[in-house]
Amino acid sequence: MNEFEINIKAKRYCSINELDEADRRLLEAANMATKTSYAPYSRFNVGSAVLLENGEIITGSNQENNAYPSGLCAERVAVFYANAKYPNVAIKAIAISSAVDNKINDSEVYPCGSCRQVLVESENRQDTKIKLIMGGAKSIIVIDSVSLMLPFTFDLDKMLDSKES
């Protein structure tokens, strides 16, 4: 047996004002997107904003449904819409924010496992890193690549390798 550690580098900010202008604009767009969330069951409004290589910002918000799991997370709403509207334009960054009762939560919010998988596949498909900005009113975490959030990703190459064995 070999034991090993996986470490990631992340930056933590205490205020949106500490971010550079592009990241601040993207997080502000995610904050605004929380207002379009449909979350009558959880009351946990999530917004996301995707920055594309062409400068466009696409937003998304979580959309719940009482027939769980028929809803969709904010991150996937934004990424799928961006890919549908601009299929050949790379995603540079994604910001995620959450709110309850129209107030941005103090702590940052993290993508769920399904969203992490979609984000990693987007990164792999475009063969460039996607910066991830996870925002809160008093704590913001930024990492340089979404793949750092899912080090043991479900990967097509690994599936094909196992079929060849």
Calculate the alpha carbon distances from 47 to 1, 7, 127, 141, 153 in Å.
Answer: 43, 28, 25, 16, 24
Domain holding 67: CATH number?
Answer: 3.40.140.10
Within-domain flag for 2: no
Number of domains in the chain: 1
Within-domain flag for 85: yes
Within-domain flag for 90: yes
Within-domain flag for 4: no
The DSSP-derived string for the chain is ----------EEESSGGGS-HHHHHHHHHHHHHGGG-B-TTT--EEEEEEEETTS-EEEEE-B--SSTT--B-HHHHHHHHHHHHSTTS-EEEEEEEEEETTEE-SS-----HHHHHHHHHHHHHHTS--EEEE--SS-EEEES-GGGG-TT---HHHHHHHHH-
Report, as ranges of residue numbers, the positions in the chain whose pLDDT lies below 70: 156-165
**pLDDT value, residue 165:** 52
Summarised one tens digit per residue, pLDDT across range 38-64 is 999 999 999 999 999 999 999 999 999
Within-domain flag for 53: yes
**pLDDT value, residue 90:** 98
**pLDDT value, residue 159:** 61
**pLDDT value, residue 34:** 98
- Residue range of the domain that includes 126: 11-164
pTM of the full structure: 0.92
Within-domain flag for 1: no
Within-domain flag for 155: yes
**pLDDT value, residue 152:** 80
**pLDDT value, residue 164:** 57
* Residues recognised as catalytic: 75
Within-domain flag for 108: yes
